[in-house]
């Protein structure tokens, strides 16, 4: 008991708690006494309360750690941490582990039991109430305080009550429409505000299919309630932001087809967030291949062509990321991306982002031909003359360099530009090092072409 008391009176901890309480008092006074109080005060009060809760839980946890130095039975220790288990759970192989440590094992990509090395049939973690009760009784005899399962906070700040609430929300996704809408809206908000809720989806192979059930069981996107579709797709976007979820989300069979279907038939918000989800998922090369093969580039290009201000940036970002993979460049060119991009650049829409995509696609022969046919060369030269963005100038001259070496028909246009504005020559003198290299390459090519003509 002495150690626990010593900790409770630990000056730094008490000082921190006192500081948090004072801050909370100020915020509450502001909210109660000031009629036109700032909305941010509520968020700050919530964060302060959360910090107080975490401090309290850490104190209770440390109290246990200080006093459990006494030898506890081996069967009460987690095989991974070698420490007394706080929240024992059963893996599909029947082995028991402390929840935060087996979660860490699973989130690292392992799909085997650490003790038996058996491949797991599923990753659902089942509370081991018998072992927990035995540990509770042992702690009671030893005079130790073990946190209740409802109040036990794991390494990510979630309680058992949070986890039970999460599972109940997933169950509602298979219920009637009003309950589906309510659950989808709450899951969207929870996964936006709390990264720990995003991680919960990796605990069970059924969690993502349960989330998507209202969409996957619908025969067509038009039959889905618009708000429900928006909330589900946005939740999927929130999940894909979590690095440990990217592979799991993309490789869940129903996910990418549903995102592609949403791109074709969803509301503008749902389509925008579907594009954003494909962008975040495409951070992994293996996901780039999956998404490219799914036919996503065509509806992404259509979304870009429509030009909705909310959607263009996300669609462009997704196309750019996907086209880093060589085989997706051919798919993008085949699906009409070059025409759409050149037309958007000509009218001045999202020029910087679209030039980066066009520079990437210009390594494809058909893309080079299309750029020339669509009048892209004069536009690129004009951007070099007028833009103040060095990155855009670099991309323009890189595209022109590729065109110059693959399409002799464009030499005349570039020469005429040089005779009037000396656009390429100026960039060769004043541009970035990359731009200078490309500009000098074009000038050498043009001069060599003139000399060959004179010799002939």
Please provide residue 91's backbone torsions phi and psi, each rounded to the nearest 5 degrees. -85, 170
88-90 β-sheet, strand order:
96-98, 88-90, 126-127
Whether pLDDT at 93 is above 80: yes
Please provide residue 110's backbone torsions phi and psi, each rounded to the nearest 5 degrees. -75, 135
Token pair of 166 as six digits: 């999460």
H or E element in which residue 98 lies:
strand 96-98
The string of DSSP letters for 359-404 reads: HHHTTSHHHHHHHHHTTHHHHHHHHHHH---HHHHHHHHHHHHHHH
Strands 126-127 and 96-98, sheet pairing: unpaired
Lowest-pLDDT range of 36-50, 115-129, 242-256, 274-288: 36-50
Question: Which percentage of the chain shows pLDDT scores above 90?
Answer: 54
Contact 194, 228 (CB under 8 A): no
Q: Tell me the pLDDT tens digit for each residue of 132-154.
A: 889 888 888 777 766 554 444 44
In 116-173 the beta strands, taken as DSSP E runs, fall at 126-127
Residue 147 carries which DSSP code?
P
pTM of the predicted model as reported, rounded to 2 decimal places: 0.67
Q: Tell me the pLDDT tens digit for each residue of 328-337.
A: 999 999 999 9
Whether pLDDT at 33 is above 80: no
Token pair of 117 as six digits: 């090395």
Q: What is the mean pLDDT of the chain?
A: 85
How crowded is the C-beta side of 181, counted as CA atoms within 13 Å?
A: 8
Q: Using CB atoms within 10 Å of the CB of residue 404, give its burial: 0 to 12 exposed, 13 to 18 middle, 19+ buried.
A: buried
Contact 255, 201 (CB under 8 A): no
- pLDDT value for 142: 75
Token pair of 322 as six digits: 């996907």
Q: Tell me the pLDDT tens digit for each residue of 300-357.
A: 999 999 999 889 999 999 999 999 999 999 999 999 999 999 999 999 999 999 999 9
């Amino acid at each position: 008991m002495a150690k626990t008391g010593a900790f409770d009176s630990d000056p730094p901890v008490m000082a921190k708690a006192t500081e948090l309480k004072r801050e909370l008092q100020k915020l509450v006074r502001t909210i109660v006494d000031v009629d036109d109080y700032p909305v941010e005060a509520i968020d700050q009060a919530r964060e302060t309360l959360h910090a107080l809760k975490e401090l309290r839980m850490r104190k209770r946890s440390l109290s246990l750690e200080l006093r459990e130095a006494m030898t506890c039975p081996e069967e009460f220790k987690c095989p991974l941490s070698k420490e007394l288990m706080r929240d024992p759970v059963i893996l599909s192989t029947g082995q028991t582990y402390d929840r935060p440590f087996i979660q860490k094992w699973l989130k690292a990509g392992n799909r085997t039991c650490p003790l038996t090395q058996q491949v797991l049939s599923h990753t659902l973690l089942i509370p081991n109430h018998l072992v927990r009760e035995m540990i509770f009784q042992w702690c009671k005899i030893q005079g130790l305080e073990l946190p209740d399962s409802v109040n036990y906070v794991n390494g990510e700040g979630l309680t058992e009550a949070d986890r039970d609430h999460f599972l109940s929300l997933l169950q509602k996704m298979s219920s009637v429409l009003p309950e589906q809408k309510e659950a989808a809206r709450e899951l969207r908000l929870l996964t936006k505000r709390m990264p720990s809720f995003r991680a919960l989806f990796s605990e069970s192979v059924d969690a993502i299919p349960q989330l998507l059930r209202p969409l996957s069981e619908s025969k067509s996107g038009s039959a889905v309630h618009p708000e429900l579709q928006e909330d589900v797709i946005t939740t999927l976007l929130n999940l894909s932001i979590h690095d440990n979820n990217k592979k799991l989300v993309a490789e869940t069979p129903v996910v990418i087809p549903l995102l592609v279907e949403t791109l074709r038939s969803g509301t503008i918000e749902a389509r925008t967030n579907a594009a954003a989800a494909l962008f975040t998922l495409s951070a992994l090369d293996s996901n780039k291949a999956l998404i490219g093969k799914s036919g996503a580039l065509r509806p992404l290009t259509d979304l870009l062509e429509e030009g909705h201000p909310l959607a263009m940036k996300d669609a462009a970002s997704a196309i750019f990321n996907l086209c880093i993979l060589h085989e997706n460049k051919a798919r993008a060119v085949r699906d009409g991306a070059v025409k759409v991009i050149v037309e958007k650049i000509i009218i001045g829409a999202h020029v910087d982002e679209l030039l980066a995509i066009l520079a990437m696609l210009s390594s494809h022969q058909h893309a080079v031909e299309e750029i020339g046919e669509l009048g892209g060369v004069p536009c690129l030269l004009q951007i070099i003359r007028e833009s103040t963005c060095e990155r855009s100038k670099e991309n323009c001259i890189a595209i022109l360099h590729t065109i110059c070496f693959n399409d002799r028909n464009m030499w005349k246009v570039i020469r005429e530009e040089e005779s009037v504005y000396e656009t390429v020559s100026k960039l060769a003198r004043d541009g970035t090092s990359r731009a200078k290299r490309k500009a000098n390459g074009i000038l050498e090519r043009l001069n060599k072409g003139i000399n060959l003509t004179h010799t002939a």
